[in-house]
Copies of this chain bind each other. A is one copy, B any other.
Amino acid sequence: MKIMIEKDFEAMSETTKNILFGHMSQDKRVNLSITAGNTPVHVYKKMVEIVKDSPNYANVHYYNFDEVPVAGQKEGITITDLRKLYFTPATIDEANIHPLTVENYAEQDKRLAMDGGLDAMLIGLGGDGHFCGNMPTTTSFENLTYKIKVTGEEPWFVPDMMEKDMEFVTMGPVSVMRVKHLILIVNGEKKAEMVKNVLQGPVTEEFPASILQLHPNLTVILDEAAASKLDR
């Protein structure tokens, strides 16, 4: 694992954007999977400036790694967020966007294998140690892409839109281990303890992201606050 500690959120975002462009600028099909949420907001703002209306990145394909469906809506939370933050302002061609859904999740690992695998995946870290939709108590390390049903008694924070009996889908630990370059970004002091747990503690399903210590090519980009509890 390579840990890069940047001075603040802005520097973390700049470094992350550069790493993604390193992949995207090669002369071959590049398959990316990128995270929704707050952590990458500045990464995408920077990327939009470069990718918008550019002919240079038609070789890049985007795959979702998790999805939470919303009752009465055609698309789920993740893809909706990614469209708003990146796909729409960056004018990404719809043919290059590959959503994950409750309907197609069982084919996700095969589809990725057929398309040559993921070159890079950008993920964040949950305050409870989750990554993608791999939550404490619902994750088994031997999972490929799988479906989880909300019981309403989860020990982890359940967002308001996740009602009891609702199902969501996520790429599991085995699927994520196959990504050629895994990029984990975390910022802020309130995640500092969990950063230490998952990067320097034991590998345990209690903190699912601890399994990422086993990834063969993991780059972790932290701001100073998120790195503040690490043994250096």
Contact = CB atoms under 8 A, between A and B. Distances in A.
Interface of A: 1-2, 4, 15, 17-23, 25-29, 56, 59, 113-117, 140-142, 173-174, 177-178, 181, 201-203, 210-211, 213-219
A25 B18 contact: yes
15 contacts: A2-B59, A18-B25, A22-B23, A26-B217, A28-B117, A29-B113, A115-B116, A141-B213, A142-B202, A142-B203, A142-B214, A173-B214, A177-B214, A177-B216, A216-B216
Contacts of A117: 28, 116
- Tell me the number of copies of this protein: 4
Contact of A213 (B17, B21, B142): B142
Contacts of A141: 202-203, 211, 213-214
A2 B27 contact: yes
Contacts of A114: 29, 115
A173 to B, nearest CB: 6
- Most central of A18, A59, A215 by chain B CB within 10 Å: A18
A9 B116 CA distance: 33
Contact of A219 (B18, B27, B177, B202): B27
A29 B178 CA distance: 13
A211 B27 CA distance: 16
A178 B177 CA distance: 11
